[in-house]
A and B are shown apart, each in its own frame.
Chain A
Amino acid sequence: MATRITRSDPRYALLHRSRNLRWDGDAAEAVAEIALCETAEQAAEALQRAVNAGMRPTVRSGGHCYEDFVVNNPGGMLLDLSLLKSDALPGDGDRYRISSGQQLGEAYIDLYKRRGVTIPGGSCYNVGAGGHITGGGYGVLSRLHGLTVDWVSAMEILTVDKKGHVELRKIDRHHDEDLFRACLGGGGGNFGIVTGFLFDRLPTAPFEVANAHFSFDWASMTEDRFVALLLAFGDYMAQRGCERDTWGLFAALGLSHISSGRMGLGLQFCNPDGRCDDLKPLDEFLDRFEEFDPVERRAGVPGDQRFAPRTPADRQHTGRYSIDRLLWLEATIGDSGGGHSGRAAYKSSYMKRNFTPKEAKCIYKHLTRMVPGVDLRGSVMAVDSYGGAVNAKDLAATTSVWQRSSIMKVQFQQYWDRAEEDAGRLQWMREFYTDVYSQEVEPQYAGTPYPNEYYEGCYINYPDSDMLAYAFWPQVYYGTGDLYPFLQQVKRRYDSNNIFHHKMSIRG
């Protein structure tokens, strides 16, 4: 039986909380019970109890949901899977198993030490596998090996049938194929509770990677130079970055607000064979930024904890640049972040082509705009590399990740501590985002990266409730094709009573 944590339990004070302190203040919105589940059977029992009692169940694996979809559940039950970490179960055979409660860091270590393989998604150590993978599983090795959902062979999932009975399903390409596909990127909290992922095969983990960190001084950044910097990054991703020998490059341009003083560029690179013998593609990439006076940094990209400081085991100078050449697991597990607990807000977009000068100028305008009384340090527009192996078009039909034509993925992030700052920061961020995504979209979709020749919408694992203001938000997250109708069909079939729901869940 799952461990039941109610308000009278001292552990409730900690366990009912959100990592994002924006969702942490209203006791009236809090769950009545947290069920700590160590096995799928315990989760099934807790879920059945919730259904019988008319409680809304929400699910947490690592607790990194950007929105309040999980913790704000008045009187409901939060099923916490963070203790559900079976490495293997009888019947798994030679398959690799990742349980929903495993943190990505644990999964990296486990897979590497046992089998020398890895999943391509993720970057932050303590992000939970359950939410990460059901939302797509994008990460540092995705250009090289695709998304994690591209590798999943089977899942175990608890669903609630029409009569309200919980059942454990083992789903794959031959069993409940529609549900299986829906869970490969459709997003968590929609259809049931995934308790485990199975993989017939996984990519071999790189032997080593090269990490590098640079920064650019805002003081010397004119609008022209800023525009040129963005276009240089985007041009690489749109052109050279599409060639296979560069797919081992993951780069993130951290465009912080001018009040932060500097902007950052962080990257990880390896050759397609998982080694770093040929660093010419890396040099070639870095050459593009030479004119912007990059300064080598030992610290991470501001606001991007995926590139937190670490001590290199082996520093290597290559051409004009200093890089950290590290064994892959060492580079991946080091202090790789994800533990931030404060107030935060996020937005996202997928970009199919380079920035236009109009977009870049708009970004410059907002990143240099000072708002009286609002501290905008901790505000970052992180432009991540995308594409490569992700853009295998056939995978759009077998998974629920439809964004298979993008070259960059943008994540707007803000981090702060005091509630008094909420209004000013959020307003600036909304105005920034709305303005940027009003440059190259049809007027009726202004304010969103609505799918068109420039954009492929937003990432469901970076959910943003602001987008609910637009009636077409499902198309922004799931595209204008047949994916969303498909997901709705699956919803009606496997969760006809809408037991699993949150603000942005699939509408049946």
Chain B
Amino acid sequence: MQPDGRSREGWTRREFVRGAASLAALPYLASPSPSFAYVASGEGAVHVFLVLGERWTKIQHVSSLAPACVLLSPSQRTLYVANEVEAHEGLPRGLVETFRIDPLDGRLTLSSRRPLSLSATRPRHMALSPDGKVLAVASYGGGIYNVFSVAEDGSLRQPPTIFKDAGCGGDSQLQGAAHPHSLLFDSSGRRVLASDFGSDRLSVFAVEDGRLQRLAQRPTGRGSGPGATVLHPGGSLFYAWHELESTLACYRYDAASGTVGETIQRMAFPSSSTGALAMHPSGRMLYTSQGVWQIDGGSGRLTRTEHVLPSATQIRAAPDGGSVYILDGSTGSIYQQPADRVTGELHFKTRVAWVSEPKSIAIRTRSG
């Protein structure tokens, strides 16, 4: 334990030596700049932390309705929160909360609660277009996607457009219906890639006039249950964690045609594995609950590194590549691991905070 009560865990001697040797080279540690972390907690709150290097100080606790996913606008002035509820105002639908972020002290002020469409229950994941003008929401419970048009001030225009999906998978108990799990925009900002846990498939949608239009579907295998996904910054590799069969797969993605193509690699893990994914901005490293993987930029194939990550419900890489954040839902711990901005290699990890049932994290940099 450190004198300030923070712990450093999981070091191998080799990691320690390597980490120590590189400390001086990390601008992140040499000159810590304050930023803010927004952590969704299953206890019904968003916690706001002032982040100074490894020193996290909780500065605000904002009530929120079952927050499952937090997302920052490109301007970093708005925080969107997907509220994973079965019903809102007596109707079967979830909602999205919008918070204004104080540019100076990072604190949140609730500005709106926007209901989703009917049947859009238990929203768990969101994606924002690169220009910040379109917010897509995946509702796991109701099998439906909602798309909001975002105003200049970050507010969401009502009502959202919808894409009501249908499908089923190989597990009759868990996959009796479509369950949109994760979604992301490709670099064009005009296409959304989505994984559907319930239907064993990946979909590519075009965003036209604020509506989703399915361009292609890609089966992931009966009973596979695709979950978390991440797109390589090069734009042509797409990684997905298949929850039910505990496999990690890399697919070819053709941005021009909007199709998910061949499976480049598929690796199986023990069935108890959790499935968080994050990509280093360099595109050279993939972080998963099963380990840290070096990415072959040409083929997309993964090679395991020696680094091990704790069990994670979510992993997120800082946009500048200088850190990786890991949320451990089982213990409530939040870890921060400095990363090499060029290679994505990780160094020691530090438990920087604890919140009850951490679900999702967003990091606001000072420059925002």
Query: In the complex, are the beta carbons of A162 and B176 less than 8 A apart?
Result: yes
Binding-face segment, A316-324, A366-374, A498-506: A498-506
* Cβ proximity bits A49-90 to B, threshold 8 Å, 1 near / 0 not: 001011110000000000000000011100000000000000
Within 8 A of B (CB), among A472-508: 473, 492, 496-499, 501-503, 507
Query: In the complex, are the beta carbons of B177 and A29 less than 8 A apart?
Result: no
Query: In the complex, are the beta carbons of B164 and A54 less than 8 A apart?
Result: yes
Query: In the complex, are the beta carbons of B177 and A497 less than 8 A apart?
Result: yes
The 8 closest A-B pairs by CB, nearest first: A164-B166, A54-B163, A468-B90, A162-B168, A497-B166, A496-B177, A497-B177, A496-B176
Binding-face segment, B13-21, B154-162, B181-189: B154-162
**Best-surrounded residue of B118, B145, B214 (most CB of chain A within 10 A):** B118
Query: In the complex, are the beta carbons of A163 and B212 less than 8 A apart?
Result: no
* Interface range, A side: 20 to 34
Query: In the complex, are the beta carbons of A507 and B178 less than 8 A apart?
Result: no
Q: Which residues of A contact B162 (CB under 8 A)?
A: 54-56, 74-76
Q: Smallest CB-CB separation from A502: which chain B residue?
A: B118
Q: Is A219 an interface residue (CB 8 A)?
A: no
**Best-surrounded residue of B92, B145, B211 (most CB of chain A within 10 A):** B92
Q: Smallest CB-CB separation from A56: which chain B residue?
A: B164
Give A498 to B176 CA distance when docked, in angstroms: 11
Q: Is B64 an interface residue (CB 8 A)?
A: no
Give A496 to B167 CA distance when docked, in angstroms: 9
Q: Which residues of B contact A507 (CB under 8 A)?
A: 92
* Interface range, B side: 20 to 34
Q: Smallest CB-CB separation from A74: which chain B residue?
A: B159
Query: In the complex, are the beta carbons of A164 and B167 less than 8 A apart?
Result: yes
Give A15 to B51 CA distance when docked, in angstroms: 57
Q: Shortest beta-carbon distance, A190 to chain B, in Å?
A: 13
Give A172 to B161 CA distance when docked, in angstroms: 38
Question: Can you pick out 5 interface pairs between chain A and chain B where the beta carbons lie within 8 Å of each other?
Answer: A162-B166, A498-B143, A498-B177, A501-B92, A503-B91
* Cβ proximity bits A22-61 to B, threshold 8 Å, 1 near / 0 not: 0000001100000000000000000000010111100000
Give A55 to B212 CA distance when docked, in angstroms: 10
Query: In the complex, are the beta carbons of B214 and A54 less than 8 A apart?
Result: yes
Q: Which residues of A contact B227 (CB under 8 A)?
A: none
Q: Smallest CB-CB separation from A470: which chain B residue?
A: B90
Query: In the complex, are the beta carbons of B166 and A499 less than 8 A apart?
Result: yes
Q: Is B311 an interface residue (CB 8 A)?
A: no
Which listed residue, A162, A468, A498, touches B142 by the CB 8 Å rule?
A: A498
Q: Smallest CB-CB separation from B142: which chain A residue?
A: A498
Give A471 to B178 CA distance when docked, in angstroms: 26
Q: Which residues of B contact A502 (CB under 8 A)?
A: 118
Q: Is A423 an interface residue (CB 8 A)?
A: no
Query: In the complex, are the beta carbons of A503 and B118 less than 8 A apart?
Result: yes
Query: In the complex, are the beta carbons of A497 and B90 less than 8 A apart?
Result: no
- Please report B residues at the A interface, Cβ cutoff 8 Å: 89-92, 117-119, 142-143, 145, 158-168, 176-178, 211-214
Q: Which residues of A contact B89 (CB under 8 A)?
A: 468
Query: In the complex, are the beta carbons of A498 and B119 less than 8 A apart?
Result: yes
Give A236 to B63 CA distance when docked, in angstroms: 56
Q: Which residues of A contact B167 (CB under 8 A)?
A: 162-164, 497
Q: Which residues of B contact A164 (CB under 8 A)?
A: 165-167
Q: Is A390 an interface residue (CB 8 A)?
A: no
Give A344 to B143 CA distance when docked, in angstroms: 33
Q: Smallest CB-CB separation from A473: which chain B residue?
A: B90
Q: Shortest beta-carbon distance, A16 to chain B, in Å?
A: 16
Q: Smallest CB-CB separation from B211: which chain A residue?
A: A75
Q: Smallest CB-CB separation from B117: which chain A residue?
A: A74
Q: Which residues of B contact A470 (CB under 8 A)?
A: 90
Q: Which residues of A contact B117 (CB under 8 A)?
A: 56, 74
Query: In the complex, are the beta carbons of A160 and B166 less than 8 A apart?
Result: yes
Q: Which residues of A contact B177 (CB under 8 A)?
A: 162, 496-498
Q: Which residues of A contact B142 (CB under 8 A)?
A: 498
New A-B contacts (11) at CB < 8 Å, excluding given A56-B119, A503-B91: A53-B213, A54-B163, A54-B165, A56-B117, A162-B168, A163-B168, A468-B90, A496-B168, A498-B119, A501-B118, A507-B92
Which listed residue, B159, B164, B214, touches A28 by the CB 8 Å rule?
A: B159
Give A482 to B365 CA distance when docked, in angstroms: 55
Q: Is A14 an interface residue (CB 8 A)?
A: no
Query: In the complex, are the beta carbons of B118 and A497 less than 8 A apart?
Result: no
Give A507 to B118 CA distance when docked, in angstroms: 11
Query: In the complex, are the beta carbons of B90 and A55 less than 8 A apart?
Result: no
Q: Which residues of A contact B163 (CB under 8 A)?
A: 54
Q: Shortest beta-carbon distance, A136 to chain B, in Å?
A: 23
Q: Which residues of B contact A473 (CB under 8 A)?
A: 90
Q: Smallest CB-CB separation from B145: which chain A residue?
A: A54
Give A503 to B93 CA distance when docked, in angstroms: 10
Q: Which residues of B contact A499 (CB under 8 A)?
A: 164, 166
Query: In the complex, are the beta carbons of B164 and A55 less than 8 A apart?
Result: yes
Query: In the complex, are the beta carbons of A497 and B92 less than 8 A apart?
Result: no
Q: Which residues of A contact B119 (CB under 8 A)?
A: 56, 498, 501
Q: Which residues of A contact B145 (CB under 8 A)?
A: 54
**Best-surrounded residue of B143, B145, B177, B211 (most CB of chain A within 10 A):** B177
Q: Which residues of B contact A498 (CB under 8 A)?
A: 119, 142-143, 177
Q: Shortest beta-carbon distance, A106 to chain B, in Å?
A: 32
Query: In the complex, are the beta carbons of A29 and B214 less than 8 A apart?
Result: no
Q: Smallest CB-CB separation from A498: which chain B residue?
A: B119
Q: Smallest CB-CB separation from A160: which chain B residue?
A: B166
* Cβ proximity bits A367-393 to B, threshold 8 Å, 1 near / 0 not: 000000000000000000000000000
Q: Shortest beta-carbon distance, A461 to chain B, in Å?
A: 20
Give A75 to B208 CA distance when docked, in angstroms: 13
Give A56 to B161 CA distance when docked, in angstroms: 11
Query: In the complex, are the beta carbons of A29 and B166 less than 8 A apart?
Result: no
**Best-surrounded residue of B142, B166, B211, B213 (most CB of chain A within 10 A):** B166
Query: In the complex, are the beta carbons of B161 and A497 less than 8 A apart?
Result: no
Q: Shortest beta-carbon distance, A35 to chain B, in Å?
A: 16
Q: Which residues of B contact A160 (CB under 8 A)?
A: 166
Q: Shortest beta-carbon distance, A159 to chain B, in Å?
A: 12
Q: Which residues of A contact B160 (CB under 8 A)?
A: 74
Query: In the complex, are the beta carbons of B178 and A74 less than 8 A apart?
Result: no
Which listed residue, A29, A54, A468, touches B91 by the CB 8 Å rule?
A: A468
Q: Shortest beta-carbon distance, A158 to chain B, in Å?
A: 14
Q: Which residues of B contact A492 (CB under 8 A)?
A: 176
Q: Shortest beta-carbon distance, A103 to chain B, in Å?
A: 28
Query: In the complex, are the beta carbons of B90 and A54 less than 8 A apart?
Result: no
**Best-surrounded residue of A162, A469, A492 (most CB of chain B within 10 A):** A162
Q: Shortest beta-carbon distance, B298 to chain A, in Å?
A: 36
Give A163 to B143 CA distance when docked, in angstroms: 12
Give A76 to B163 CA distance when docked, in angstroms: 9
Give A76 to B144 CA distance when docked, in angstroms: 13
Q: Shortest beta-carbon distance, B67 to chain A, in Å?
A: 22
Q: Shortest beta-carbon distance, B170 to chain A, in Å?
A: 11
Give A162 to B175 CA distance when docked, in angstroms: 10
Query: In the complex, are the beta carbons of A75 and B161 less than 8 A apart?
Result: yes
Give A469 to B89 CA distance when docked, in angstroms: 7
Give A497 to B167 CA distance when docked, in angstroms: 7
Within 8 A of B (CB), among A94-121: none
Give A498 to B165 CA distance when docked, in angstroms: 9
Give A420 to B349 CA distance when docked, in angstroms: 63
Query: In the complex, are the beta carbons of B143 and A54 less than 8 A apart?
Result: no
Q: Shortest beta-carbon distance, B350 to chain A, in Å?
A: 44
Q: Shortest beta-carbon distance, A165 to chain B, in Å?
A: 9
Give A53 to B145 CA distance when docked, in angstroms: 12
Q: Which residues of A contact B213 (CB under 8 A)?
A: 53-54
* Cβ proximity bits A143-163 to B, threshold 8 Å, 1 near / 0 not: 000000000000000001011
Q: Smallest CB-CB separation from A466: which chain B residue?
A: B90
* Cβ proximity bits A438-471 to B, threshold 8 Å, 1 near / 0 not: 0000000000000000000000000000001111
Q: Which residues of A contact B158 (CB under 8 A)?
A: 28
